[in-house]
Structure 1
Amino acid sequence: MKRKQTREIAIGSVKIGGDNPIAIQSMCNTDTRDAKATIEQIKRLEEEGCEIVRIAVPDMEACNSIKEIKKGIKIPLVADIHFDYRLALKAMENGIDKIRINPGNIGNEERIKAVIDMAKERNIPIRIGVNSGSLEKDLVEKYGEVTPKGLVESALRHVKIVEKYDYNNIVVSIKASNVPFSMQTYSILSNEIDYPLHLGITEAGTVWSGAIKSAVGIGSILSMGIGDTIRVSLTGDPVEEVKTAKEILKSLGLRRFGIEFVSCPTCGRTEVDLISIANKVEQECKKINKNLKVAVMGCAVNGPGEAREADIGIAGGKGYGLIFKKGEILKKVPEEALIPELLKLINEL
């Protein structure tokens, strides 16, 4: 699919927009004032593949933790700030890599200018984040309710405030919990600006339901060629957000994160313990950093042909299985030897 070309923006060491890969983000659910706990969670996110991480900055104590947090992590750090311009200034003084703030909500012109001037001086991007749950009253009245056009108008209003002070180091997001609504909103927004877009479905739900909703929503918007960075919002461990984001990007062919694993859904022809085998192979494949496609199929009759696009795979029989490569059968082995033989061949490729 062809992505819309947006401006390139640098968030610390990570670039988004332009021809850069779609970056994966998450947000800590720790108390930012507890630097140690926040660093520990970010390290777990880094290990899973998170590329940008955001923290809540509700007060000056949280701002003062930024220096320590930055020392303990490798990926860029984003400050999530609402209303108080002084928190934005302090966060930037303490080395934050990006701020998420709506310029129109932080006070008078003097305060807005102070934040933008410091961002410009330090070349710190500003993410303008509009949420369907907090659309300005005048726009709700103008459109009769919260609408995609109203949200886009709100985002453009905030963008113009930043542009007024001759600054265009901007990222924009518009979050809603309704998937068709979000698709329409991002489609309109993408036609209006060339700034990088941050995608997400807000209040998506728990790890199970939220992952499905996010996959449908974010995946649909990405398939339209829209989006430069994504954050999956889940009620749970933020590490699960990163796992889900990686799978969304992998499924659309937009990023490669090690082995791509596929398996058949099983049927009445299956004569091996395919569910157990598939789960074990998938877990082992997560430990291997190779750009391969691995298939686990239940039927020795049709499996190799159905998964001929896989680099390597197995297909079960009755107490045995076939190992195949690009649809061509390599060998027949006992069921208990299927996983060891498959892993051996994967490591040899």
Structure 2
Amino acid sequence: MCLLILGRVARISGKNLEVLLTPLKPRRPTRRIHIGHVPIGGGAPIVVQSMTNTDTRDAGATIAQIRRLERAGCEVVRVAVPDREAVERLAEIKASVSVPLVADIHFDYRLALGALRAGVDGLRLNPGNIGGADKVRRVAEEAKARQVPIRIGVNSGSLEKDLLTRYGSPTAEAMVESALRHMELLQDHGFDLIKVSLKSSDVLTTLSAYRLLAQKTDVPLHLGVTEAGTPVQGAIKSALGIGLLLAEGIGDTIRVSVTGDPEEEMPIAYGILRALGLRRRGVEIISCPTCGRTEWDLIPLTQKVEKLVSGVATPLTVAIMGCVVNGPGEAREADVGIAGGRGTGILFKKGRRVRKLPQEGLLEALLDEIEAMTGESVPRS
């Protein structure tokens, strides 16, 4: 008997489980669009996105948060545009950041037109809720003239009433029908710079919806599990929902949604991509879970290192191990690491000892080595 586990074939024979390391499924072919300077779909690398939680009418706060997101690795940023005052801040925000800017619009087509004229790189809207055909036409024509893509964002919590009546609940089939309906409204006006997302807070519904839509269209897909919860719960749901789809070759952009600072989304997003071998960015920390043999305060040290190196963009694997006997060998694939014991420890590279150090000097030695290997500065507090 065989099982498919994240794109790998597992053969069960008696009590043994043999895993044959076959590649992940090939990326689903999609058409190529661009959000600003960032290519989306058509074989381009998976793009990491986020959304500000500042009041867009406060341009200063919004710009500051976008810059922090950029430093954390965000490649496309969406901002809420609830009214005309927010539209009036978009040009200033756009001119102050280098990451492509997407305007999130609901209900009022005039906000979409204003955002386009302010120079945004993308729109997130559902054409079915911005007015009649003439209003959709005006937005489609303006976006087409500026070559600005539109993401249709279907959310299980805001499906059309007739679809809820027909399907009885926000099923995957209802979400896909909603997406196709919105797509048709734009395509009727010759607009095809389209990306689609199908978000539910339920992981299984999310998976089913994306799999179904992927069979029906070649538009790029933006992956996410909406309202996923706190950073821990959000990481779990996103790793499953986004990770399983990426392993199946589905998805062109991703956003990890957590209740908290959007910067917290970045390490989760890149962690998912790194775990699947799709992209690498920043420092990956390998650390032992600790046990009764641990003779130094490893847990707070590991947390401190994670915080200090969060701004490093160069891909690097760093190990922090609790045992000088087994630590280097267990972390042999790490680029660099430290392992501590009673009052002393070692610095090692690729499992080989570099030098022995007093325990209190291990952190500084590790940070020095990370700086030397990446060429990037690491804060000390």
CA gap of 1:24–1:93, structure 2 versus 1, over 3 A, is same
Give the drift of 1:20: 1.8
8 Å contact kept, 1:67–1:94: yes
Check conservation: 1:272, 1:316, Cα contact below 8 A: yes
Q: 1:65 to 1:343 in 2, by over 3 A?
A: closer
Matched residue, 2:44: 20
TM norm structure 1: 0.93
Q: Pairwise mapping of residues 40-189 of structure 1 onto structure 2 (< 5 A)?
A: 40-189=64-213
CA contact (8 A) 2:152 2:197 kept: yes
Cα gap change, 1:79 to 1:217, in 2 (>3 Å): same
Q: Which deviates more from structure 2 when the two are superposed, residues 271-280 or residues 185-194?
A: 271-280
Counterpart CA distance in 2 for 1:35 and 1:326 is: 46
Letter of the 1:142 counterpart: R
User: 2-side partners of 1:170 and 1:277: how far apart?
Assistant: 46
CA contact under 8 A between 2:151 and 2:195: conserved in structure 1? yes
2:352 to 328, 331, 335: 328
Give, in angstroms, the shift of residue 283 of structure 1.
3.3
Of residues 95-104 and 230-239 in structure 1, the stretch that sits farther from structure 2 once superposed is: 230-239
Residues 1:265 and 1:176: Cα distance change in structure 2 (over 3 Å): same
Q: In 1, are the aligned partners of 2:72 and 2:310 still within 8 Å (CA)? A: no
2-structure distance, mates of 1:307, 1:252: 19
The CA deviation at 1:287 is: 4.6
Whether 1:346 and 2:376 are equivalent positions in the alignment is: no
Deviations 1:177-199 (A, max 9, x none): 01111111111112221111111
113 and 207 in structure 1: CA distance in 2 versus 1, 3 angstrom threshold: same
- Which stretch has the larger CA shift, 176-185 or 232-241? 232-241
- Deviations, residues 184-237 of structure 1 (Å, cap 9, x unaligned): 111111222111111111111123332332233222222222211112222222
Which deviates further from its counterpart, 71-80 or 236-245? 236-245
C-alpha change, 1:157 and 1:68, in structure 2 (3 Å) is same
The equivalent residue for 2:254 is 230
CA gap 1:288/1:109 in 2 versus in 1, 3 angstroms: closer
Q: Give me the whole-angstrom Cα distance separating, in 1, the residues matched to 2:139 and 2:52.
A: 24
Q: TM-score, normalised by structure 2?
A: 0.86
* Structure 2 partner of 1:310: 334
2:35–2:149 CA contact under 8 A, matched in 1 = yes
Rate the CA distance shift 1:238–1:291 in 2: closer, same or farther, 3 A. closer
User: Partners in 2 of 1:164 and 1:215 — Cα distance?
Assistant: 36
* 8 A Cα contact 1:259 1:294, kept in partner: yes
Give the distance between the partners of 1:38 and 1:281, measured in 2 at CA.
28
Q: Report if aligned partners of 1:298, 1:317 keep a CA contact under 8 Å in 2.
A: yes
CA spacing shift, 1:320–1:171, aligned 2, 3 Å:
same
Alignment RMSD (CA, Å): 1.9
Per the alignment, do residues 320 and 211 of structure 1 end up closer, same or farther by CA in structure 2, a change over 3 Å counting?
same
Task: Give the number of aligned pairs.
Answer: 349
Give the Å deviation of 1:267: 0.7
Runs of 4+ in 1 over 6 A off after TM superposition: none
Whole-Å Cα distance in 1 between the matches of residues 220 and 174 of structure 2?
20
* Structure 1 Cα separation of the partners of residues 359 and 41 of structure 2: 48
Given that 1:35 and 1:65 are in contact with CA atoms closer than 8 Å, whether structure 2 keeps it comes out as yes
Q: How far apart, in 1, do the equivalents of 2:311 and 2:161 lie?
A: 50
In the TM superposition, residue 152 of structure 1 has moved relative to its aligned partner by 0.8
Find the partner of 2:263 among 213, 220, 239: 239
Matched residues in 1 for 2:299 and 2:263: separation?
Answer: 25
The letter for the 1-side match of 2:351 is G
Equivalent residue number for residue 256 of structure 1: 280
Shift of 1:97: 1.0
CA shift, 1:258, in A, is 2.4
**How far did 1:276 drift?**
3.1
Q: Distance in 2 between matches of 1:46 and 1:287?
A: 10
Distance 1:89-1:8 versus aligned 2 partners, 3 A rule: same
Give the drift of 1:122.
0.9
Q: 1:98: how far off? A: 0.8
